[in-house]
């Protein structure tokens, strides 16, 4: 189960309540019919997909339409000094062909997941975000292959209507996530921050057989905070604006917010009134004490909480 794998419990999620109204971004609520919360765990499919090797995947008869493209792609990645930009163009074409065909999602997932090994550098999304803010064009930034997969998926996921091709690429992203590829937080950034289309992320979450938007945000915001804390605090207001109903009362999100927060970051998050509240009107010293107390509380450190209360 998703929660068990990432250490997320029901206690990390918001308490039960009435169904949330649909927000202005067209993202549906995270509750089932009648107001009852959906299962908090994110489950990719009713039955776990079987494990297959890359060779078995390449031999899958549904991939005949790719010809030698997939084998050439795998060989290119394995080269001593792979040309990521050139291979990125190839991987986009593979995703396009997959979206418009009946090719096996299991086979394509196995082939694409195989390229994300320790020998393949992952993109520094924090540095790229800073360069983009400074005016650098996307073509001038150094991207990894996951960027090209997400860019290809976005070409379908942004459409007003959920076509079969859009659903297939979103299901592919879910299966890549299950294959231990860091898709979730990257797709969150790509959808909300880069494209300004939070519905793309919500549709990705909708591809899970069970689960909620809130559970997905707990996972992906937590991973973003762990890997790129500076970027996390910069983009959090945008993500809150995209999904305001998912934040209040969500212990897991608050846990990520206060994990490494310092004084300048408190003011950076001023828009998130559901979390910051009245503390911004307090003196600086009082704010630091409050956030240290909150950090101890959500971390379950009762000794630290008691000590601060006595102070």
Q: Which carries the bigger pLDDT value, residue 42 or residue 102?
A: 102
3-state SS assignment for residue 46: coil
| pTM for this prediction | 0.73
Q: Which of 201-210, 213-222, 249-258 has the lowest mean pLDDT?
A: 249-258
Q: What is the DSSP letter of 10?
A: G
Name which of 197, 138, 140 is nearest 166 in CA terms: 197
pLDDT average, residue stretch 251-278: 63
Half-sphere exposure of 237 (CA within 13 A, CB side): 12
How many angstroms separate the CA atoms of 76 and 67, rounded?
15
What is the Rg, in whole angstroms, of the alpha carbon atoms belonging to the chain?
21
pLDDT tens string 85-116: 888 889 999 999 999 999 999 999 999 988 87
Q: What is the DSSP letter of 34?
A: G
- List of E strands, the chain: none
Distances (CA, A) of 39 to 54, 212, 214, 305: 33, 7, 11, 31
pLDDT tens string 45-71: 756 667 888 889 999 999 999 999 999
Q: Which carries the bigger pLDDT value, residue 266 or residue 147?
A: 147
pLDDT tens string 73-85: 888 887 767 777 8
pLDDT tens string 123-182: 666 676 665 665 666 666 677 888 899 999 999 988 777 899 999 999 999 999 988 888
Q: Which of 155-159, 179-183, 189-193, 300-304 has the lowest mean pLDDT?
A: 300-304
Phi, psi values for residue 37, rounded to 5°: -65, 145
DSSP, residue by residue, 262-291: -HHHHHHTTT-HHHHGGGGGS-HHHHHHHH
Tokens found for residue 169 = 């690429």
């Amino acid at each position: 189960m998703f929660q068990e794998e990432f250490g997320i419990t029901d206690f990390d999620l918001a308490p039960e309540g009435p169904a949330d109204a649909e927000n202005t971004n067209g993202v549906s609520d995270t509750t089932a019919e009648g107001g009852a919360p959906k299962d908090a765990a994110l489950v990719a499919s009713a039955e776990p997909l079987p494990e297959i090797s890359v060779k078995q995947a390449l031999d899958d008869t549904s991939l005949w339409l790719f010809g030698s493209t997939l084998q050439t792609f795998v060989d290119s990645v394995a080269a001593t000094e792979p040309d990521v930009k050139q291979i990125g163009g190839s991987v986009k074409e593979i995703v396009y062909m997959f979206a418009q065909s009946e090719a096996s999602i299991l086979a394509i997932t196995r082939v694409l997941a195989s390229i994300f090994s320790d020998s393949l550098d992952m993109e520094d999304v924090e540095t790229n975000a800073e360069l983009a803010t400074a005016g650098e064009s996307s073509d001038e930034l150094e991207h990894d292959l996951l960027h090209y997969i997400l860019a290809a998926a976005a070409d379908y996921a942004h459409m007003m209507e959920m076509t079969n091709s859009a659903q297939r690429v979103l299901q592919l992203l879910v299966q890549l996530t299950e294959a231990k590829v860091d898709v979730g937080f990257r797709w969150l950034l790509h959808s909300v921050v880069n494209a300004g289309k939070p519905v793309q992320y919500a549709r990705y979450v909708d591809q899970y057989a069970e689960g909620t938007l809130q559970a997905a945000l707990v996972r992906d915001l937590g991973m973003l905070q762990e890997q790129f804390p500076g970027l996390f605090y910069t983009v959090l207001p945008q993500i809150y604006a995209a999904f305001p109903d998912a934040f209040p009362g969500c212990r897991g999100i608050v846990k990520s917010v206060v994990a490494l927060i310092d004084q300048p970051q408190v003011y950076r998050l001023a828009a998130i009134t559901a979390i910051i509240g009245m503390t911004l009107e307090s003196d600086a010293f009082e704010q630091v004490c409050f956030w240290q107390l909150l950090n101890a509380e959500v971390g379950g450190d009762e000794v630290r909480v008691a000590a601060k209360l006595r102070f």
